[in-house]
Amino acid sequence: MATEINYRIFPDPQDYGEMLLLQERTRNEIIEGKNCGTIYFLEHDPVYTSGLRGTDDQFIRPLNGIPVHKIKRGGELTWHGPGQLVLYPVVDIRKAGFSSIREFVNFFGLTIESVLREYCGISKAAWIEEKAGVWVEDRKIAFSGLHFRKFVPVHGYSLNIDPDLKSFSSIVPCGMPDCKITSIKNETGKNHSIESISRQILLKAGKRITGLTVF
């Protein structure tokens, strides 16, 4: 079977639970040899997620009815919602041309860094592997957390474009009490759409990922 990796950009916010089911279904299809996967780009309806190291004491304020999903990914607590781009690269990383999980994880982190620097004008954006995200000095702007089975991940990356940053104040984000959170809008004062940033990431990914053709 020829390697062909698809992508999909959702125009409207998506329910977290439904997207998790879609990721798992996609992963199962990849493992069964039915296809080589899809990279999903979207916003979520407001939700908090708690990774494998998340604890109840990391919730510090009322969540105002926003649901919480405890999930099997690396990391602790984070928030997803409108104004934040979420990227789920559910692909067979070996057929995509990567030699290791680490190489794959770092590739998307560095790609987000590059888009922030070159397209958004945030010259100090830097992917820091040990801190699982992209930072602008002491401010975190993008996040990562994945779970692999047979070299196929679910979950992925999130990038703050212009979300309500107060949503992070109800938790200890990423398990880091002093973690400051920022966004593209906060750093530059400029407006960007979910689709425009998704397209910039895709253009760079298409040059590296085997089987990904960007239209």
Which residues carry out catalysis?
A: 174
Give the DSSP per-residue string, the chain: ----BEEEE-SS-B-HHHHHHHHHHHHHHHHTTS--EEEEEE-BSSEEEE-TT--GGGB-S--TT--EEE-SSSSSEEEE-TTEEEEEEEE-TTTTT-SSHHHHHHHHHHHHHHHHHHTS--TTEEEEGGGTEEEETTEEEEEEEEEEETTEEEEEEEEESS--GGGGGGB-BTT-TT-EE--HHHHH-----HHHHHHHHHHHHHTTSTTB---
Neighbour tally for 179: CB within 10 Å? 17
Name residue, tokens 């004491």: 57
How far, in Å, CA of 135 to CA of 187, rounded? 11
Assess contact for 113 and 134: CB atoms under 8 A. Answer: yes
